[in-house]
């Protein structure tokens, strides 16, 4: 009855595909070997984990948490938020300006400008690829311990993140309305702000919100290298093995990150609701 | 009469493909010209070359008595700002209001002096535009009968409304010439008829010259004084629309 033959299982699969799968398996095995990943070791150390948890809960047991201390943690948390906010804001502004020059065929279009575009792209990549902790260490060295170093770190990190994605969003915009304005004799600078930026606005806003979320998360860690904020408090408590109070701080960080993420998700939805 | 557009033996190649092969014509002030021809005949390319959106590979194009090849960017802008442009679709900035889109028409007029660099910034949106520009934009919208939609976002308009806004933006330029590339092609027949009628009426009123391309032969005949037909990169017919044999044309081009 049936005319069509059942195709062979591996019939038309190219040999290169099979080789790629084998290669992937080999690389995975090699990396597992090097990473020291061990289930037995993880289970064997449950004793330490249990000790941490026993001492951490209830969070305010042995080392009585006074109001003064809680107040200090609260201020550190606020400082973390402020660092993240200002750092993101400055990073957005500078990142946007750099993105204008990093975006292909946006501000200029000539052979000479390709070099400029390439160099700005490289600068943005440099900001993005060097990890934030490394920037934090550098800035602590330059401007000393404290919130300012953290703010600068977040700024640089945000420039790297937004510079890239802003540029891509402005490249992806439908350029036909820009072309219409260009044909009517408008300057490139005006076209960018009259046609390209308005069309890219939803993307720019969502990217900015993502950048802020990212900044909140990384600002928590920056304290570990002395760049201000609540991370510093967390680190010293962990060093003193005051796990119960450390747990309070972890809880506060969790709450802050959660609130910021929820808020940013809500705002993103609000922005996208108006778009088709 | 003075010729405001002259094309002398222009050719345009795209890689090894020859798209325009020796096109010559002249358009006089106040004249309206329609371009017909099947897909790939070179209508759009000719229009894009006239707007210097594509470079020509041979020949000469002059707008308002000035050759447009090898112009400095500022000179190119000053000749472009006298030409209103309407494309088939996607003319407007989608997320801005209708009024802002019309105000943009003044951007080209605003690049001639250094001081105007600053005032150009005020034309990015109607919110920051000067009241003279806002009022002129409203006048232009009234002329296309869309004054009541001034605050609507451009991406909420229908196709016909969008084209009328694009026409209003072209009027905002106070152009001497309007060039339109298949302005009615993505519209339904009634809206297309309306838009074409608006074009020819406005051009006749203000003495503006018009070049438009179309696939609709009755539009080409009804809304222009003169018609050119293109065939594989060359002009095959160039005649006043009054003397056209409609049946023969339809047989060949529709």
Residue A188 lies in a domain: yes
DSSP state of A225: G
Asked if B125 is an interface residue toward chain A (Cβ–Cβ < 8 A), one would say yes
Contacts of A198 in chain B (CB under 8 A): 93, 95-96, 125
Query: Torsion over CA of A116, A120, A125 and A126, rounded to 10 degrees?
Result: 110
Nearest CA in chain B to A180: B91
Q: Which residue of A has its CA nearest to B91?
A: A177
- Whether A182 has its CB under 8 Å from any CB of chain B: the answer is yes
B contacts of A180 (beta carbons < 8 Å): 85, 87, 91-92, 166
Per the domain annotation, does B122 fall within a domain? yes
B54 vs A contacts (CB less than 8 Å): none
Any chain A CB within 8 A of the CB of B119?
no
Interface pTM, i.e. ipTM = 0.87
Of the candidates A185, A198, A202, the beta carbon closest to that of B77 is on A185
Q: Domain holding A129: CATH number?
A: 1.10.3720.10
B96 lies in some domain: yes
Q: Does B63 touch chain A (CB under 8 A)?
A: no
**How many domains are contained in chain A?**
1
| Contact (CB<8Å) B84/A186 | no
- Is A197 domain-assigned? yes
B124 touches chain A (CB under 8 A): yes
Query: Does B91 contact A176 at a Cβ distance shorter than 8 Å?
Result: yes
Residue A96 within any structural domain of the chain:
yes
Contacts of B167 in chain A (CB under 8 A): none
Q: C-alpha angle A194/B69/B42, rounded to 5°?
A: 80
Candidates A185, A195, A202; nearest CB to B80: A185
In a domain, A17, yes or no: no
CA distance B56 to B43: 14
Query: At B153, phi and psi to the nearest 5?
Result: -75, 140
Q: Which pLDDT band holds residue B160 (cuts at 50, 70, 90)?
A: confident
Domain for residue A169, yes or no?
A: yes
Average pLDDT, chain A: 87
Choose the closest CB to B91 out of A177, A189, A198: A177
Q: Is residue B12 assigned to a domain?
A: no
Domain span at A129: 75-273
For CA atoms B186, B192, B195, B196, give the dihedral sign.
positive
Residue A44 located in a structural domain: no
Do the domain assignments include residue B127? yes
CA distance A178 to chain B (A): 8
Number of domains into which chain B is organized: 1
List the single residue in A176, A185, A202 with the smallest CB-CB distance to B90.
Answer: A176
Enumerate the residues of chain A whose CB falls inside 8 A of the CB of residue B113: none
Do the Cβ atoms of A199 and B94 come within 8 Å? yes
Is A47 a domain residue?
no
Taking an 8 Å cut-off on Cβ atoms, the answer to whether B111 and A190 are in contact is yes
Hey, is the C-beta of A176 within 8 angstroms of any chain B C-beta? yes
Does some domain include residue B249?
yes
pLDDT at B155 over 80: yes
Closest CA to B28 of B51, B50, B63, B1: B1
3-state secondary structure of A74: helix
3-state secondary structure chain B: CCEEEEEEEEEEEECCEEEEEEEEEEEECCCEEEEECCCCCCHHHHHHHHCCCCCCCEEEEEECCEECCCCCHHHHHHHHCCEEEECCCCCCCCCCEHHHHHHHHHCHHHHCCCHHHHHHHCCCCCCCCCHHHHHHHHHHHHHCCCHHHCCCEHHHCCHHHHHHHHHHHHHHCCCCEEEEECCCCCCCHHHHHHHHHHHHHHHHHHCCEEEEECCCHHHHHHCCCEEEEEECCEEEEEEEHHHCCHHHHHHHHC
* pLDDT tens readout for residues B47-88: 999 988 888 888 899 998 888 888 888 888 888 989 999 988
Evaluate whether residue B110 is within a structural domain. yes
**By the CB < 8 Å criterion, does B123 face chain A?**
yes
Q: Is B149 on the interface with A (CB under 8 A)?
A: no
Most confident range (mean pLDDT) of A41-55, A108-122, B88-102, B229-243 is B88-102
Q: Mean pLDDT across the stretch A163-188? A: 90
Structural domain contains residue B238: yes
* pLDDT tens-place string over residues B15-47: 888 888 888 899 998 889 999 988 888 888 999
What does the pLDDT read at residue A64?
64
Residue A261 inside a domain? The answer is: yes
CATH number at residue B164: 3.40.50.300
Instruction: With beta carbons under 8 A apart, name residues in chain B contacting A189.
Output: 120
pLDDT at residue B111, as a whole number: 60
- Tell me the pLDDT band of A30, cut-offs 50, 70 and 90: very high
Domain of B116 in residue numbering reads as 31-41+75-253
Alpha-carbon distance of A95 to A102, in angstroms, equals 10
Q: Which residues of A touch B100 (CB under 8 A)?
A: 194
Any domain includes B61: no
B32 or A7: which carries more pLDDT confidence? B32
Strand partners of residue B229: B36, B237
Q: d(Cα A52, Cα A112) in Å, to the nearest integer?
A: 60
Interface contact B111-A198, CB threshold 8 A: no
CB pairs under 8 A between A and B: 95
Nearest to A184 among B81, B92, B93 (CB): B81
Q: What is the pLDDT of residue B117?
A: 72
Cβ contacts of B80 on chain A, cutoff 8 Å: 182-185
Chain A residue numbers with beta carbons less than 8 Å from the beta carbon of B105 are: 184
The CA distance from A77 to the nearest CA of chain B, in Å, is 38
How close does chain B come to A273, measured CA to CA in Å?
A: 13
B92 contacts in A (CB within 8 Å)?
177, 180
Of B90, B96, B173, the CB nearest to A184: B173
| pLDDT score recorded for residue A63 | 59
State the helix-helix crossing angle for A132-143 and A197-222, rounded to 10 degrees.
70
B183: closest CA among B162, B209, B203?
B162
Which has the minimum average pLDDT: A93-102, B110-119, B197-206, B234-243?
Answer: B110-119
Nearest in space to B208 (alpha carbons), one of B253, B173, B243? B173
Kindly state the percentage of chain B with pLDDT values over 70: 96
CA angle A206, A209, A215 (to 5 degrees): 145
**pTM for this model (two decimals):** 0.83
A271 touches chain B (CB under 8 A): no
């Amino acid at each position: 009855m049936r005319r069509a033959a059942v195709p062979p299982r591996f019939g038309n699969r190219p040999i290169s595909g099979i080789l790629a799968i084998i290669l992937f398996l080999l690389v995975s095995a090699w990396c597992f070997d090097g990473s020291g990943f061990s289930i037995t070791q993880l289970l064997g150390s449950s004793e330490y984990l249990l000790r941490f948890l026993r001492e951490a809960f209830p969070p305010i047991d042995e080392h009585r948490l006074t109001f003064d201390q809680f107040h200090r943690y609260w201020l550190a948390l606020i400082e973390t938020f402020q660092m993240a906010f200002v750092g993101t804001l400055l990073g957005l502004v500078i990142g946007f300006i750099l993105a204008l020059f990093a975006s292909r065929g946006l501000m200029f279009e000539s052979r000479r400008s390709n070099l400029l575009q390439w160099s700005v792209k490289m600068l943005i990549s440099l900001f993005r690829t060097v990890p934030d902790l490394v920037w934090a260490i550098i800035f602590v060295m330059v401007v000393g311990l404290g919130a300012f170093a953290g703010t600068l770190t977040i700024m640089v990190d945000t420039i790297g993140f937004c510079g890239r994605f802003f540029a891509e969003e402005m490249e992806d915009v439908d350029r036909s309305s820009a072309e219409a304005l260009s044909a009517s004799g408008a300057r490139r600078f005006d076209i960018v702000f009259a046609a390209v930026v308005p069309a890219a606005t939803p993307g720019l806003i969502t990217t900015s919100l993502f950048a802020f979320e990212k900044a909140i998360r990384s600002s928590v860690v920056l304290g570990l290298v002395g760049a201000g904020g609540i991370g510093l408090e967390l680190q010293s408590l962990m060093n003193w093995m005051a796990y119960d109070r450390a747990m309070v701080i972890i809880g506060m960080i969790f709450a802050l990150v959660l609130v910021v993420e929820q808020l940013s998700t809500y705002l993103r939805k609000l922005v996208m609701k108006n778009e088709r | 009469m003075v010729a405001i557009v002259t094309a002398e033996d222009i050719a345009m190649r795209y890689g090894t493909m020859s798209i325009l092969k020796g096109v010559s014509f002249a358009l006089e002030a106040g004249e309206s010209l329609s371009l017909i021809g099947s897909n790939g005949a070179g209508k759009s390319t000719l229009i894009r070359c006239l707007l210097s959106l594509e470079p020509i590979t041979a020949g000469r194009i002059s707008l308002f008595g000035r050759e447009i090849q090898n112009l400095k960017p500022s000179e190119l802008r000053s000749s472009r700002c006298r030409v209103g442009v309407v494309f088939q679709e996607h003319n407007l900035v989608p997320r801005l209001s209708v009024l802002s889109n019309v105000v943009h028409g003044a951007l080209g007029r605003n690049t001639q002096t250094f001081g105007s660099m600053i005032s150009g910034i005020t034309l990015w949106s109607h919110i920051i535009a000067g009241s003279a520009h806002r009022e002129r934009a409203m006048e232009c919208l009234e002329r296309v009968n869309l004054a009541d939609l001034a605050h609507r976002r451009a991406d909420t308009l229908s196709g016909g409304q969008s084209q009328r806004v694009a026409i209003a933006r072209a009027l905002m330029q106070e152009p001497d010439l309007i060039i339109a590339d298949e302005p009615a092609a993505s519209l339904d027949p009634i809206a297309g008829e309306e838009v074409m009628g608006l074009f020819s009426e406005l051009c006749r009123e203000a003495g503006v010259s018009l070049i438009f391309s179309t696939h609709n032969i009755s539009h080409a005949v009804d809304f222009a004084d003169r018609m050119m037909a293109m065939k594989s990169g060359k002009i095959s017919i160039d005649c006043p629309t009054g003397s056209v044999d409609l049946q023969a044309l339809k047989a060949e081009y529709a």
